[in-house]
Amino acid sequence: MARINLLPWREEQRKERLKKFQTVTVLASFLMLAIILLVHVRMSGLIDYQQSRNDFLVQQNKVLETRIKEIENLEKEKSNLLARMNIIQQLQSSRPQVVHVFDEMVSTMPNGVYLTGIKNSGPRITLDGFAQSNARVSSYMRKVDDADWLSDPRLDVINTENIKGQRISKFTLVVKQTTPAAKKAAAQAEQGDAQ
| pLDDT 10s digits, 69-109 | 999 999 999 999 999 999 888 878 777 777 888 888 888 88
Domain boundaries, the chain: 109-186
Q: What is the pLDDT of residue 5?
A: 62
Residue 135 has pLDDT above 60, yes or no: yes
Residue 1 has pLDDT above 60, yes or no: no
Residue 133 has pLDDT above 90, yes or no: no
Compute the CA torsion angle 34, 38, 39, 44 (nearest 10 deg). 140
Distance CA 109, CA 18 (A): 130
The answer for 53, left when phi > 0, alpha when psi is -120 to 50, beta otherwise, is alpha
- Domain 109-186: which topology? Gyrase A; domain 2 (3.30.1360)
- Residue 65 burial class via C-beta count within 10 angstroms: exposed 0-12, middle 13-18, buried 19 and up: exposed
Distance CA 154, CA 145 (A): 10
Residue 14 has pLDDT above 70, yes or no: yes
What average pLDDT does the segment 137-147 reach? 88
pTM, two decimals, is 0.52
Distance CA 20, CA 26 (A): 10
